[in-house]
Amino acid sequence: MTERRPPMVQTHDLVKRIEGMVVNSCPDTAPGSAILLVKNGQVLYRRGIGLANLEHRVPLAPDMPFRLGSITKPITATAILMLAEAGELALTDPISLLLPDYPMGETPITPEHLLTHTSGIPNYTELSEWFAVHRQDFSLDQLIDVFRTRPKAFAPGTRWAYSNSGYVLLGAIIEKISGKSYGEFLADHIFTPLKMSDTSYESTTSRVIPRMAGGYSPVPGAYLHAEYLSYTQVHAAGGLVSNLDDLARWFTALRAGNLLAEETLRKMWTPYLLSDGTSARYGYGWWLGEWQGHRVAEHYGSLFGYAAQLLALPDDDILVIILSNDEGKLNLTEQLAVEMAAMTLGKPYQPPAAIPLPAPELLQVAGTYTAGDGLQLTVADEAGQMVLQLSSGNTSNSSRTPRRNFSFRRSRRPALFFPADRTLSPNSRGCRAGAYPSTPKRLPEPAGYPSPSSRYTRRGNGIRQVSLSGSPLIRDPVNREFFSAAPVYTS
């Protein structure tokens, strides 16, 4: 007997509800978002809200291009799989056959390891030495040199750890095999055939891109132009520019089998299994999951000045894309995309209820947290209130911080993230960018809440979440738990 699923909501009602949610979330006087919802090939919702340019008060339109950040990765993965289908590479061959100058170690690294973030190669954008040079223009070889000699964090295939380095190497493989630059190959084999006229690889800021949305960084009470980044530094891990319509064309062609064979696409959307048999919950360029029987494939993008979300329910033919020119809206783009998809299914998303925790216990997380770039976050108790203070050097309450995927986000909903065992120490792998307290801290297990699920325990880096002020984040941005969340603690 087949499962009976609730009928899709009426389009008029759906659009009305989404519009209300978008308007309430996105002020029209600040950097904004371009938002698209497609179901069964039909555009149900498409609009721009907010400003594309603050100086000239230019409204944001839905056809404007944005920098995609890591939404580049599913497209890079598509290109690699096209080469594999053409017999130009094998996903399980050592990459030394393609990049002979890259050190291998005892266990060979394969293209499949790079695609699935299971290579063990450290993520170069989390290295302090990279942040010191992120404004400089690099050749591809110079960029690879940043992490070329770094020891692997683990044997390939044994663990999962997000790594932009792996996707830079995939870009190098595309160039080596094709004899073309990364951008030229994508243009010739994907963008031009699909008439994606507003999509390109942009390694500099010198070219004028018509109607491009400017990127901004939020600070208390204002916005600043996004910090400068040489886009030679992101390459195939995050260097693409595109808009809603072009991304929808690419995804439609991908899902229809016009870019990859059905079996290849199935593998792309199948979670990679680690050597111990556990799921990495990441396939070839996509985070993968399931919600109430519906498959979910997604990726986010986060870059200086920009935030983005691409969420698909392949079996239901639902696609949500949100592109923002406010780097502080990463969590908002994720939340909106999830809620829009759930509404379209007729199953409105309900965030988990916060778990009450007495203030004395919550304050056990008090202490000073240090990131590799010298930023410090102090969590303290002042008159019974949880207080956060961000400092850099001798300057407290810094009005501007480098964008490093730091585990504490200065946003409307700041939060600290803890590993599944509720301890945080210098050896902990739970924090997103190496932020940890001076001494180990332990958050008590709230009464009545079960221990971390087996999948978190097995992987060893499941994240628990602590809300320090305002509304808690509804999901865990490190482990990409769509439609479900780790427990949220509030005072």
Reported as a single tens digit per residue, the pLDDT across 237-283 is 999 999 999 999 999 999 999 999 999 999 999 999 999 999 999 99
Q: 132 lies in a domain?
A: yes
> Which pTM does this prediction carry?
0.77
Residue where a domain stops, chosen among 345, 375, 406: 345
From the number of C-beta atoms within 10 Å of its C-beta (0-12, 13-18, 19+), residue 154 rates as middle
Q: 234 lies in a domain?
A: yes
* pLDDT score recorded for residue 412: 26
Q: Tell me: do 327 and 399 sit in the same domain.
A: no
Q: Tell me: do 299 and 362 sit in the same domain.
A: no
- How many domains is the chain partitioned into structurally? 2
Q: Tell me: do 340 and 361 sit in the same domain.
A: no
* pLDDT score recorded for residue 381: 57
Instruction: Average pLDDT across each block of 10 residues of the chain; the chain has 491 residues. List them in order.
Output: 44 90 91 97 96 96 97 98 97 95 89 97 88 91 95 94 96 98 98 98 87 92 91 95 98 97 97 94 94 91 94 97 94 90 88 52 57 50 53 33 26 35 32 33 32 21 28 27 32 34
Domain carrying residue 287:
69-345
Q: Tell me: do 365 and 294 sit in the same domain.
A: no
Q: Tell me: do 338 and 360 sit in the same domain.
A: no
Distance from chain centroid for Cα 170: 18
Q: Tell me: do 430 and 325 sit in the same domain.
A: no
Q: 221 lies in a domain?
A: yes
Q: Tell me: do 117 and 231 sit in the same domain.
A: yes
Q: Tell me: do 366 and 453 sit in the same domain.
A: yes
Per-residue pLDDT reduced to its tens digit, 178-237: 999 999 999 999 999 999 999 999 988 778 899 999 999 988 889 999 999 999 999 999
Q: 456 lies in a domain?
A: yes
Q: Tell me: do 359 and 333 sit in the same domain.
A: no
Residue where a domain stops, chosen among 291, 314, 345: 345
Q: Tell me: do 244 and 95 sit in the same domain.
A: yes
* pLDDT score recorded for residue 126: 84
Q: 38 lies in a domain?
A: no
CATH code for position 294: 3.40.710.10
Q: 395 lies in a domain?
A: yes
* pLDDT score recorded for residue 363: 56
* pLDDT score recorded for residue 330: 86
Q: Tell me: do 182 and 273 sit in the same domain.
A: yes
Residue where a domain stops, chosen among 318, 345, 372: 345
Q: Tell me: do 302 and 448 sit in the same domain.
A: no
Q: Does residue 60 contact residue 211 with C-beta atoms inside 8 Å?
A: no
